[in-house]
Amino acid sequence: QVQLVESGGGLVQAGGSLRLSCAASRRTFSSYTMGWFRQAPGKEREFVAAVSWTGRSTYYADSVKGRFTISRDNAKITVYLQMNSLKPEDTAVYYCAASQSPPRMISEYNYWGQGTQVTVSS
pLDDT one digit per residue (tens) for the chain, 122 residues? 668 999 999 999 999 999 999 999 888 888 899 999 999 999 999 999 999 988 999 999 999 999 999 999 988 899 999 999 999 999 999 999 999 988 888 999 999 999 999 999 99
Longest dimension (CA), the chain: 40
* Dihedral pair phi/psi, residue 107, rounded to 5°: -65, -15
Q: Is the CB of residue 52 less than 8 Å from the CB of residue 33? A: yes
Inter-CA distances, 54 with 58, 73, 90, Å: 10, 10, 27
What is the C-alpha end-to-end distance of the chain, expressed in Å?
Answer: 37
Give me the pLDDT at residue 66, please: 98
Q: Is 100 helix (H, G, I), strand (E, B) or coil?
A: coil
